[in-house]
Structures are given as structure tokens and as C-alpha cells.
Amino acid sequence: MDMLLSLWLPIIVTAVIVFVASSIIWMAAPIHKHDYKNPGDKEGEILALLRSVALAPGLYMVPWNNHGNKAHKAAEARVKEGPWATITVMPGIPNMGKLLGAWFFHLVVVTIFIAYVGSVTLVAGADYLKVFQVIGGAALLAHAGYALPMAIWHGMPWSQLPGRLFDGVVYALLTAGTFGWLWPEAILPTTIG
């Protein structure tokens, strides 16, 4: 626990660096420019439909099929016919301040767990490269580990997978470099003479 507590500086510095990097990647880099599609002239119809059905905020999948209930032949037909969609209905206008605050909080929490992995596998004064390897591996799992399941299970287009993996690799490298740089020195024993 003492080792983990001694990592407070790399935890905070890493969260700030990754937060800034993620902002640059998402706002200035072209890699995520086409992640979300513009519905074009269909936007009005889509919005009118969503307003008319007044869905409560949540995540919806259509067509809905009560999985395992074979008595619903109409639902099975809708599933076979398609199209299929996942719809996210948000409770109101996104508050960027709150969202960015939540993102920073997430980065701190993730970095605490990455630091924990380092604290139980590395010692104070560990070599930069060893810290980089251990922390980098944990950070890559934390930041990119869910990219593939997003494409497999959540309908994220496969074309977005390289961008999500790129983000994870950048965040992992920044995390590993920061921890390697700020890793605590070994405490030298003092001699009483």
C-alpha cells in the first residue's frame, strides 16, 4: 500500500497528460473525423420519429426480440428482415463540462489501477525500461482492451477499430513514459556510525 501511495504524482500527471492527448486526438487529429455519420436530409425525419415515440433516456436495440422466446414469430421475422440498430437516447443537451470532468475522473481511476499493478510487480528504484514495460502493458489493456468487444458485440463499425486501438496505444505509451520518468527512487539504507 505504501508503494501505491508513493505513486500519487505519476497518477495525477499521467491523467493530465492523457486527458490533454485525448483532447488533441479527438479535436485536431483526423483519425476520428468520420466515426459518426451525418444522416443528411433524413435528420428531420429521425428526430421527428424519436420525438413522437418519446423514448426514455437509455440504450435501445431494434428490432427487439425476446431472445429464447420462440412464440414470437413476428419478432423473429423483424430480426430476419432488418435493418438493425442501436439507439442511444440521452436525457438532454450534453454538458461538455460534466462529460470532460467524468472523463478526467475515469482517467484517474484507471491510472490508479495501472499504478496498483506496478506497485505489486515493481520495486522502488526499478529500471525505466522495466517500469515502461509493466505499466505500458497494463495501460494498453486498460485503454484499448475493450475496442475489439465494442466491434464484436456493440455494433461499432470495424472501420473504427484502428482509431480506437491507436488511441489506446498512444495513451499507454504516455502512461508508461510518465511512470518510467516519475517512478520512485529506491530509499538507500542509512548507516549509523
Q: Alpha-carbon distance 169 to 105, whole Å? A: 20
Q: How far apart are the first and last CA of the chain?
A: 31
CB 163 within 8 A of CB 146: no
How large is the average pLDDT for residues 65-89?
76
- Position 23, amino acid: S
Question: Percent of the chain scored above 90 by pLDDT?
Answer: 67
pTM of the model: 0.85
Domain range summary for the chain, segments of one domain joined by +: 2-34+93-182
CB 142 within 8 A of CB 11: no
Summarize pLDDT for 50-75 with one digit per residue, the tens: 999 989 999 888 888 766 655 567 77
Q: Residue 34 is inside which H or E element, if any?
A: none
Q: Copy the grid coordinates of residue 143.
A: 485503454
Summarize pLDDT for 129-153 with one digit per residue, the tens: 999 999 999 999 999 999 999 999 8
Confidence of residue 83 (pLDDT cuts 50, 70, 90): confident
